[in-house]
Amino acid sequence: GLFTTEELLWHRASGQMATRGPGTYKIPGFRDIPQVFNVSLLKDVQWENLRTIQRSRGVGEPPLFMGSSVFFAIRDALKAARLQSGVHDVLSLQSPATVERIRISCADPIVRRALVQPKEGEKSFFVSI
């Protein structure tokens, strides 16, 4: 969500939010779950000395950092893909790592042929915050 799919865009002329509702937001579904999802917990670990409410963590911190781990995994995969394509310049990937940003960051020959550079003074229809 926060690091991969939720990009808020506002229309430059009207100031209205352009990315609202399910038409512009990729809602995760059942097919987004991997077919094979191997998870293991730490073995032979005793949790008796953990001093939290019912041995739980805070509400916001763990999910936030779990989401950022996805962002950094995508960044590492992009670095490897760029090296395979012979691109050695610095990767600048902004959060959220949307599908468009990921594809453009691959910098493979197909993306290089399709890349359009804005002309002087040209601005996007949308403002991203």
61 is catalytic: yes
33 contacts 122 by C-beta, under 8 angstroms: no
Residues in the chain: 129
**If you search the block for the tokens 């959220």, which residue do you land on?**
96
9: part of which helix (H) or strand (E)? Answer: strand 9-11
Of 78, 69, 66, residue with least CA distance to 102: 78
Can you tell me the distance from the alpha carbon of 77 to that of 88, in angstroms, rounded to the nearest whole number?
14
Which listed residue (61, 100, 120, 122) is catalytic? 61
Q: Which residues are catalytic?
A: 61
